[in-house]
Structure 1
Amino acid sequence: MKWIAAHPYGFSLALLAVLLAASVAVGSVFISPTVMGALFQARLGGQPLTAALQPMDTILFTLRLPRAVLALLTGAALAGSGAAYQGLFRNPLADPYLIGVASGAGLGAVAAMSVRWPYTFWGLMVIPLAAFAGALVTVAVVLFLAKVQNSLPASNLILAGVAVSSFATALTSFWMLRSTGEVRRALVWLMGGATQSGWQPVAAVLPYIGVGLTALVLLGHSLNVMQFGDEQARQLGLRVERVRALVIAAASMTTAAAVAFAGIIGFVGLIVPHVVRLVWGGDYRRVIPLAVINGASLLLMADMLARTVIAPQEIPVGILTAMAGAPFFLWLLRRSRQQFSW
């Protein structure tokens, strides 16, 4: 434990590498480390594959590796955004869905599922794009409602987020009741069971998550200053409203992109940042990047379990994270009520 506390990045990156390798190896067909090494060597060296390795090449590079990378990016996005929101609101119970990202994405996705789209690239991409648009529209409405003159009070953001989120959830439920053929698909998506295949979703989501997480990492020092409170932060020269707007924009865009392609996966943005603070301290210059790495590890592990626990059936990842996260949330709630020390 002392070594882990002393080497946060070394431990986190090593754990991520192990889980990534395990995620692409484990499945209905096991890919051994030897075979995996041969496949990567053939790809990198441009060497022809033997007949025995060609099916393994398809499984690894067409099916499992893109899915693992998408899970990695989703976990990183949710955990990094959760850390930023917890720092912004100075509340360990905050998560990436606090201001309506999930409900807006769900409404957009369910609305898109009610239409029969052609089986083309844009036909397959319309649901995540609709989810992304719905999430951003919801956040924009929340910001509009919460704004007071030129400021964005944290309490207003939370209250507006709760109200708009409830309204969007009600619309989603109504739309699902009116739908005839896509209810099951919508339910799976809402439970975090969206499984996009291939490298196209990875390429689509990478710019948004990459830009958003980079911005949040760079805002780590400003989040440290904001822990003293808005007035004290202003006295120290921090432009509080500008920082708050930047954090909300970056975190919301990152979360929306992740939710659009992976479905609604709860508790990752709540659990991981809190564990990081418990183990490695509350400096947000360290909390956010470590949350990003360990969030990727957590979702890789959850995705691997979802594929294997009751194989050949698959459990929506959101169910597993909820089963693990709900008890943790209750423990955290009890602990924060007694005494929470940052």
Structure 2
Amino acid sequence: MAHDLFERRVFFVVGKGGVGKSTVAALLAVAVAERGKRVLLAQMGPGRRLAEVLGVDGGSEAPAEVFPGLCFLTIDGETALGEYLGLVLAVKRVHRLVVGSKLYHHFVAAAPGLKELMTVGKIWYEEQLESGRGRKWDAIVVDAPATGHSLQYLRMPAAAYEAFGAGLVRREARRVLDLLEDPGRTAVCPVTTAEEMPVNETTEMYTQLRERLRMPLGVLFVNRVHAAPLAPEAVPAAPAGASSLVVDVLRCGREEAGWSAINAHYLARLRANVPMPTVELPFLFSEEFGLSEVRRLLGHAERQLATLPAAGAP
């Protein structure tokens, strides 16, 4: 039975900076969109990497269409708070006065966790949005910040709920928590590479997500995996008088075999310490990286997802 990952509505893609988290977020968004669904790919906070992969302008406050069925949006906490106040303050003039005041901007900058709470709240709001055909988005894929910051974002709704005994903030935080903790709607997909520091961080993040945040987990993606057919010692040395081309090819072969051995070692550690359904994505030797490369990786992912058991299956 194929894994039921794509039956969820909200995907949080998390991981250490530099492991290919944005690539996997784009991969998931394209996969869901190509199943005929309307998808919002949302980036939490600033950054150009994901917009460059998609070939869109990432600076707009409105969703930008990547292709029919897939839109991209950068979510900023301060902007999300301004939008929320626009819903609460029905009179536009009052809203403009509030968000335009210096006191407001000082408050937003100083209030601990407010931007993080409003950013995650914006995800909840987009998930609830209605259009003429029902829900505006069939699925939302979230490219979260690097591990430490993303855990801070995901902890804020629970922290706000516990801090406020009653009132508006507690009620709104509970709504967001209901989404984050719902295994029927949400999946957290960690991304890593099979190297020492990323694997250590992923192991710690897995514990935090499972035991402290109690968030439903989806699939673990291991990016940039080298799979050389030979062990490093099996690659012969260049014979005397060999051309520079032969020398370079054999050197590259040894390096690739070395990386393959390193990856195999840390993949074994991941399997032992992070018991999740796992998809391995190959290292792509490419000077350019855009949607065509995302689709190449998606082909590898789809074949593996088809063999993974459904969530909860033995």
Same fold flag (TM > 0.5): no
Higher RCO, Cα 8 Å, sep 6+? 1
Larger radius of gyration: 2
